[in-house]
Amino acid sequence: MGENEPPHQDFQVGDILRVSCPQAQTRVAHVSRFYASVEWPWAQIDPESQFRWNGQRAFAVSADSSEWTMSLFKTTPEAWNLHVGDSCLVGIPETLVRIIDIGRYDPPQDVGRLPRPHTMLVVVPADYPAEALSKDDGDTIDLDSAAPLAIELVSRG
């Protein structure tokens, strides 16, 4: 995480953050009509979990999909150009986001992968209009993620 990043508990709803994650090499595991799934390079399957995560993350294959628009992580090439067995990159290009919710979990949340998250930020693009928000909008930033996230507070909401 970035040097200028405030401690986890200091994030507030409304904060604008600059987020990025360097790209990592991975492999396309599955492609369907709606999603391309890649082997997730930054987490391990949690053997103690009540969920059976398969070690993959799915990306919408339509650029018009709200899932593609809201997702912080992107693939290179784009998900709609991926085929099973392809090698690709996954990461977060430098992005400005606004926090719309914060989840804090004690004990850490069981999500099927390790490390289990203590704090999850729900974010949308910084310029996303508040009046357009629905309860399903946004992506999450797991502050306990094994991914090498860089998070910098840009402005306080």
Q: Which pLDDT tens digit goes with each residue over 97-152?
A: 999 999 999 999 999 999 999 999 999 999 988 887 877 788 999 998 999 999 99
| Sign of torsion over alpha carbons 128, 131, 137, 143 | positive
Residue 18 lies in a domain: yes
Residue 92 lies in a domain: yes
Number of Cβ within a 10 Å radius of residue 60: 18
Global confidence as pTM: 0.87
- The domain in which residue 82 lies consists of 8-155
Residue 25 lies in a domain: yes
For the chain, the domain total comes to: 1
From the number of C-beta atoms within 10 Å of its C-beta (0-12, 13-18, 19+), residue 19 rates as buried
Residue 3 lies in a domain: no
